[in-house]
Amino acid sequence: MTGATGNIGGRVLAALTDTGAEVRAFARDPRGLPGGVAGDLSHPDTLVPALRGVDRVFLVWPGIPVQPRVVELIAEHARQVVYLSADVADLADGEQPSSFHQEIERQIRGTGLDWTFLRAIDFATNTLAWAPQIRRGVVELPYGRAARSLIHERDIAEVAAHVLTTEGHHGGKYVLTGPESIQQAELVRTIGEAIGREVRWRELAPEVALERFTEAWGDRAFAAARLAAWKSFVETPERVTDTVTRLLGRPARDFRTWAAEHAGDFR
């Protein structure tokens, strides 16, 4: 599996280990990881030692340009790939800011691999970016009434482990969400409750947010697309699916649970 040291990949690694599966972790620094193999997806040939004798692959793509050779190598060695994608991959080119997901999905579909795409709506862990403002007691962002259906990373991990260790998932495009859509201002209040402090939402003008996000992310088009999505969620809440329940036989964890588990990250 790739991405074993990340927020999601680390949870997938733990979930797979809990099933008793034999796991080989591929990472730049694999020290302490089971079956650890050192490598970097930006240098695809370093993946070869990790793939020898492997049957199934969990693929997380890091923030680097797409490397077609990576998918080719996986197809040469494994029979199944589970790719952590996003719920934008079916859109036409130019309609969404994460087109690399679309490209990687296209490459995977062009192989003889059994494939499953885990299309996560948005991660609850992304709210960790608010931590500095949470500590100051005020979160200043636009579109406080935008309703989001953020998913707990443990739910993604347990779905991934389930798909990797059971049959019948070839061709699945599983859209993963939390159990409800919650307005962003309410997400902030929920984090405040988890840390035992009042935290307020202060509405920020979208044009000001665009400049701040562009400076922080270095990509004006991506910043504009993210703000446009938030604006749309004011009128039409981010959708909620029952995928986690259908696959795991239990409801997805709610944001209050996530906030309680991560309270220390905001203090």
Question: How much is the pLDDT for 213?
Answer: 94
Q: What is the pLDDT of residue 105?
A: 93
Cβ 99 vs Cβ 140: under 8 Å? no
Q: Is residue 157 part of a domain?
A: no
**Domain of 112, in residue numbers:** 1-120
Contact present, 254 and 180 (Cβ < 8 Å): yes
pTM of the model: 0.91
How many angstroms separate the CA atoms of 147 and 160, rounded?
26
CA distances 20 to 73, 139, 160, 264, Å, are 26, 42, 14, 30
d(CA 91, CA 109): 16
| pLDDT at residue number 88 | 67
Question: In this structure, what CATH number is given to the domain that contains residue 39?
Answer: 3.40.50.720
Note whether residue 244 is domain-resident: no
User: Is 42 part of a structural domain of the chain?
Assistant: yes
| Span of 78-82, 98-102, 190-194 with lowest mean pLDDT | 98-102
Answer yes or no: is pLDDT of 6 > 90.
no
Confidence class of residue 70 from pLDDT cuts 50, 70 and 90? very high
Q: Which residues contact 2 (CB under 8 A, 6 or more apart)?
A: 9, 26, 27, 41, 57, 58, 59, 60, 61, 62
155 Cβ partners below 8 Å, 6+ apart?
176, 178, 244, 248, 252, 253
pLDDT digit string (tens) for 19-53? 888 999 999 998 888 888 999 999 999 999 999 99
- As a whole number of angstroms, the distance between CA 232 and CA 124 comes to 19
Q: Is residue 228 part of a domain?
A: no
The predicted-structure confidence for 196-250, as pLDDT tens digits, reads as follows 999 999 999 999 999 999 999 888 988 998 899 999 999 999 999 999 999 999 9
For residue 76, is it within any domain? Answer: yes
In a domain, 44, yes or no: yes
Position 140 in a domain: no
Query: Taking Cα atoms as reference points, which of 116, 117, 153, 119 lies closest to residue 10?
Result: 153
In a domain, 223, yes or no: no
Looking at residue 236, its pLDDT comes to: 95
- What local confidence, expressed as pLDDT, does residue 201 receive? 98
- Six-digit token string for 31: 């020290």
Q: What is the pLDDT of residues 94-153, one digit of tens each?
A: 444 457 888 999 999 999 899 999 999 889 999 999 999 999 999 999 999 999 999 999
Tally of domains within the chain? 1
Beta bridge partner(s), residue 201 = 139
